[in-house]
Structure 1
């Protein structure tokens, strides 16, 4: 691609020759009439010919409105119009460079799918927040146009089964593509704030809740639980009575048939052992 050609979106698209022709009422004729003649001339020019870049850039500039129009068809999907135009225009350059006028087909029949393919490739490969299988991405790209066509045909939104029949695929694949839409864009936990834009959504952190202090108790319980099964039956029973049934040492001693002093020693010894094992693990 020649560095002399600027593909950045023009500020005033109506200044292009095509738009000017339309403004003057170019009725009954295609705005891209005779573009094939320029492409044939381009093909006949040697790479070293100084006129080649001029002819090539002329073809591209005449077709910029086509690329911009295709770019607008993909708005509303999370990408800026400037980015969409850039990729559409890149597709236009590919179309100009790859077109073979000897086949006899009109340039637009080749350029339109080439440009749309470049934009769709951008969506498929670079705009997914979470990795999604390529097959699912491809089906996802067809959901919008297919749903729009079926809605117009039925007068109501189509069902997944009807979309699957239209696309000639399994209903499960349509469902997966619909679910995958949630992976297309993720909401940031901390949205970008702007003092001049009071409409910025509230931070997710503000609605996710606070840290739960009792989670630490749960973690301690899960760490100690397997260790409690290891001590002898009498020691384990003393722990259960003291810390789960909240009995006093006197009550535990009466139930186990030992002295209160022995209960104190059992609890102290067992707790020290559990603490040492838990901290070690």
Structure 2
């Protein structure tokens, strides 16, 4: 065989075989998915990424294996029908990650490889979205660990474990345990309209009735404190005009008569002074 013939033969062996065209991959029987999957994965390793054939092979693999997402999602059906669509979407992301990372050389069934990816993505979704108050992921994971450890130690000790016992068992500091226990309070939130759970609560008082509110007077105090140095910087006449207008509640005509100015002049002076004070307040904030 000539060199040219050998080169042509070598080139021919690297050309992908045409993949079968499947109209609806989701209707393929499970027993056929395994055989077809190997064929498509084999070609996926050869095809150039970004080409039409590559996209066809990848998309077909995704659709053929969507039943794995449905299977994994059943484990979370107690979360409610309202979230099932989100679970399916998140699980599909896990499936796609598994397809992109799977290699036939692993000698493991794709099903066994993909399920951990799908379930892991769904669990990550719940971990990141079900907390009523956002806390760092480290504390989210610590909450789960503490809950399991508390249950184990409570069974062994026949009582709730102390912070020290939890820290010793997990080989972490007591400060970390306390931080994790406090963070766990952010997992769920209750309505402030719920009645207070107390024997003395005959009137049906709610948490909203005893929850403190912002005092509008505090903002006024802050404004007065910020305004004081600005007033001190005004010229004497300007400061007198402000004091007469807002302190003594005199009209512009009365102020003009007192200072020997026209009402129009007082109006212009007052407008200028207020603009200066307003600018000073905004600049300070």
TM-score (norm 2): 0.44
With normalisation by structure 1, the TM-score equals 0.44
